[in-house]
């Protein structure tokens, strides 16, 4: 038996990923539509495994990456999981970032052309995932967006590194700092995707150049409007056939050479990003941002800013750990505490 012999896709028994190989195309689908295809920690490991298998399988020439359903391609990390797991144990986020890094690098280093099939929104790490791919085809109702600064994080898992390369400095800052939603047609104009195809239908007929209102009606399934991905599939299939009409070794090295700037910006920054993000999870911003997302409320941005303006701590919810209990001697108590957390005695202010 060959060391790198082809393995049936179904033999992996993934839980969060659908994996298929046929006609020299591997199709990898993140299958968490109930979470808008946000990837969990186990999903990252499954995705990296699928990309690695497709990379090593000589029967595969092209890899297609997509999400289940019509609402979302991928919305990045599971913020609910972040709030439950990593706000409580920031050191574990460093480990998580190791898995995320391996996942994105499994796309970058696959040695085969990867096509992002944008079946819906690509938000946060979802946009970073499609940026890691070589080519991208979007359904017209899809959009791209970065949300890091609004949920207590920084989009330095691909977006800060690659958006300036793809759309230019000003537009990159617009997406990263303002969190502007970029519709599919604008994404095409900016160079974020290669092709946009109709996906809005009314009474079973495709609507060409759908308006924002028609897209809203279709995603809500109102007034006879709906979403249909037939043309998206046809466009992706056509692209795959074109990619297969090439020499595989030349294609692999073309990808490697074209990845130079992506690799350079990535490897110069991702290790630092991994450490900073794990340390940042000890502060108030991610605690507030993640919990606000889970609670479906607006984050208290102004409160943090006002705390800093008043000379207080905007880094820690209850202030810096500077108080000592005069009764029991316990130190490292937050400056906002009125009583000792160990013995309950009043704290002198």
Pairing of strands 333-334, 321-323: antiparallel
In the structure encoding, which two tokens stand for residue 346, read together? 């009043």
pLDDT at 349: 67
Token readout for 340 is: 């000792």
* Cα gap 161→152, rounded to integer Å: 19
pTM: 0.94
Q: For helices 90-108 and 41-56, what crossing angle results, to 10°?
A: 20
**What does DSSP assign to residue 178?**
I
The residue extents of the domains of the chain are 9-280, 318-349
Determine the pLDDT at residue 88: 85
Is the CATH code 1.10.287.610 the one for domain 9-280?
Answer: no
- Give residue 134's Cα distance to chain centre: 16
Per-residue pLDDT of the chain (349 residues; tens, 9 = 90+): 688 889 999 999 999 999 999 999 999 999 999 999 999 999 999 999 999 999 999 999 999 999 999 999 999 999 889 888 888 899 999 999 999 999 999 999 999 999 999 999 999 999 999 999 999 999 999 999 999 999 999 999 999 999 999 999 999 999 999 999 999 999 999 999 999 999 999 999 999 999 999 999 999 999 999 999 999 999 999 999 999 999 999 999 999 999 999 999 999 999 999 999 999 988 999 999 988 988 999 999 999 999 999 999 999 989 999 999 999 999 999 999 999 999 999 998 6
Which pLDDT does position 80 carry in this prediction? 87
pLDDT, residue 253, reads 98
Measured distance CA(101)–CA(105) in Å, rounded: 6
Catalogue the long-range contacts made by 240-247 (C-beta closer than 8 Å, 24 or more residues apart): 240/25, 240/62, 240/64, 240/115, 243/61, 243/62, 243/113, 243/115, 244/24, 244/25, 244/61, 244/62
pLDDT of residue 176: 98
């Amino acid at each position: 038996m060959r060391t790198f012999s082809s393995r049936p896709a179904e033999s992996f028994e993934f839980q969060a990923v659908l994996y298929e190989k046929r006609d020299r195309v591997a199709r990898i689908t993140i299958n968490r539509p109930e979470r808008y295809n946000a990837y969990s920690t186990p999903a990252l490991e499954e995705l990296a495994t699928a990309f690695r298998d497709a990379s090593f399988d000589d029967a595969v020439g092209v890899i297609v990456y997509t999400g289940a359903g019509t609402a979302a391609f991928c919305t990045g990390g599971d913020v609910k999981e972040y709030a439950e797991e990593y706000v409580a144990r920031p050191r574990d986020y460093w480990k998580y970032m190791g898995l995320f890094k391996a996942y994105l690098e499994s796309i970058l280093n696959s040695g085969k052309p990867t096509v992002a099939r944008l079946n819906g929104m690509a938000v946060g790490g979802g946009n970073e995932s499609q940026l890691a791919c070589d080519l991208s085809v979007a359904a017209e109702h899809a959009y791209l967006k970065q949300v890091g600064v609004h949920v207590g994080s920084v989009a330095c898992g691909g977006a800060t590194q690659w958006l300036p390369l793809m759309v230019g400095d000003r537009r990159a800052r617009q997406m990263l700092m303002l969190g502007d939603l970029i519709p599919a047609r604008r994404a095409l104009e900016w160079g974020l995707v290669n092709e946009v195809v109709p996906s809005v239908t009314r009474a079973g007929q495709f609507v060409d150049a759908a308006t924002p209102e028609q897209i809203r009606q279709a995603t809500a399934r109102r007034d006879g409007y709906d979403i249909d991905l037939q043309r998206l599939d046809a466009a992706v299939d056509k692209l795959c056939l074109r990619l297969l009409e090439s020499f595989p070794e030349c294609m692999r090295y073309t990808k490697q050479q074209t990845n130079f700037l992506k690799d350079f910006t990535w490897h110069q920054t991702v290790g630092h990003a991994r450490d900073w993000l794990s340390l940042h999870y000890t502060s108030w911003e991610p605690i507030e941002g993640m919990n606000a997302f889970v609670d479906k409320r607006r984050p208290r941005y102004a409160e943090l800013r006002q705390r800093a303006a008043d000379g207080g701590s905007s880094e820690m919810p209850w202030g810096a750990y500077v108080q000592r209990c005069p009764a029991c001697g316990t130190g490292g108590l937050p400056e906002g505490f009125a009583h000792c957390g160990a013995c309950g005695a009043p704290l002198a202010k």
